Copies of this chain bind each other. A is one copy, B any other.
């Protein structure tokens, strides 16, 4: 036998150190002890009857959160990006026309993903902080006749809550599937998957749900399933192939579940518990709370003389607020000061909003007036203490 050429690393001898932080960035959010403790319960097999029960709990919880009766509703074993690829890989075949609405980073990433698998991709662009009208969307559907139209409901990079009413109906008029990213919005703003005729909807576990990142709820309408299950080519990914996933999650007509992959069982426990917390509060109460807290926060920001990046009130995402980067300051100095002095994470822009905004996320258990007061106090302190940028 050969001898060891690489020795045990010294750095692993130190104990694991994890700080406690107030996570008021665009995500991940803080997780309540109940949800963290659920994730520390013993591992069981990914094919045991008890995990199937927990997966059925998750399925019901997602149906409630999404307001859908779709049979094919499950959680992908990955993050929001995995769910995004699950949606696109399954619903798009090479050569299909795809249109993505770009009002921040997510539409760009969806376009990149669809291009990688050979779709013909067009985008329709809204200026950062703005949204698209249904007339603009109909125009692009009529022009490109896409098989799939992508829209981010909560655009966390710009702080826009995109209106959804009527878009599903428009998509179906043009025989197109409607794919919605609700990673930053679900649970914090009204969304009705079935009534709004959304064909594929996904989110992540680490925003309003307050579970650790690592699982991603997703649901497919019958119309989406018909296209997916009738497709001529296999999806590029075995891991994300909906035929396999639907069977593992007991969403198909088959009498038994077949081993597909080893589900992240402890992440399922946390996700299940986060959905239980949401169901206990009730969706409508959660939507109202996020809206009330956001309005309280926005008023506080304006009282400080700060400006909101999204002008139109109804298009302000209640979960992630974008604040115009204060003139005369270096935004990085502000976020660093707040982290260092107040142990609070807030963040700068992302993609098209880099340099333009500060982003503050108050999601799930962090959506409360007392947390708003903490952020406002930290911001005031930062503006007092950070050197003005003399450039």
CB-contacts of A349-367 with B (<8 A): 350
- Bound state CA distance, A79 and B259, in angstroms? 13
**Nearest CB on B from A92, distance (A):** 11
In contact, A43 and B31 (Cβ under 8 angstroms): yes
Please, which residue of chain B has its CB at the minimum distance from the CB of A183?
B262
Q: Report if A381 contacts B (CB, 8 A).
A: no
User: Which of A144-152, A279-287, A300-308, A383-391 touches B?
Assistant: A279-287
Instruction: Report whether B204 and A63 are in contact in the complex, using a CB–CB cutoff of 8 Å.
Output: no
A265-307 near B? 1/0 per residue, CB < 8 Å = 1110100110110011011100000000000000000000000
What B residues does A20 contact at CB under 8 A? 42
Instruction: Select A9's contact among B54, B260, B279, beta carbons within 8 Å.
Output: B279
Q: Cβ of A374: which chain B residues have Cβ within 8 Å of it? A: none
Q: How far is the CA of A225 from the CA of B63 in the complex (A)?
A: 43
Question: Of residues A113, A239, A284, which shows the largest number of chain B Cβ atoms within 10 Å of its Cβ?
Answer: A239
Docked Cα-Cα span, A88 to B236, in Å, equals 11
B239/A78 in contact, CB under 8 A: yes
Does A155 lie at the interface of the complex (its beta carbon under 8 Å from any beta carbon of B)? no
Q: Please give the number of chain A residues whose Cβ is less than 8 angstroms from any Cβ of chain B in the complex.
A: 98
Chain B residues, CB < 8 A from A82? 77-78, 239, 261
- Report the bound CA distance from A275 to B6 in whole Å: 14
| Contact stretch, chosen from A95-103, A169-177, A206-214, A314-322 | A206-214
CA distance A272 to B67 in the complex (A): 38
A23 within 8 A of B: yes
Once the chains bind, are A237 and B116 in contact (CB under 8 Å)? Answer: yes
Interface centre among A2, A50, A273 (most CB of B within 10 A): A2
A56 interfacial contact with B, CB 8 Å = yes
What B residues does A194 contact at CB under 8 A? 5-6
- Confirm or deny: A80 has a beta carbon within 8 angstroms of a beta carbon on chain B: yes
Least distance between A250 CB and chain B CB atoms (Å): 14
Q: Give the chain B neighbours of A31 by CB distance below 8 A.
A: 42-43
Q: Which of A162-204 contact B (CB under 8 A)?
A: 190, 192, 194-195, 204
Whether A12 pairs with B43 at a CB distance below 8 angstroms is: no
Contact pattern, A 14-42, Cβ under 8 Å of B = 1, otherwise 0: 00111111010101111100001111111
13 example contacts (A-B, Cβ-Cβ < 8 A) are as follows A11-B60, A12-B57, A21-B48, A25-B45, A28-B262, A36-B41, A39-B266, A45-B345, A78-B82, A116-B235, A214-B214, A214-B264, A237-B237
Nearest 6 A-B pairs (CB), nearest first? A214-B264, A9-B60, A40-B40, A8-B279, A212-B266, A18-B41
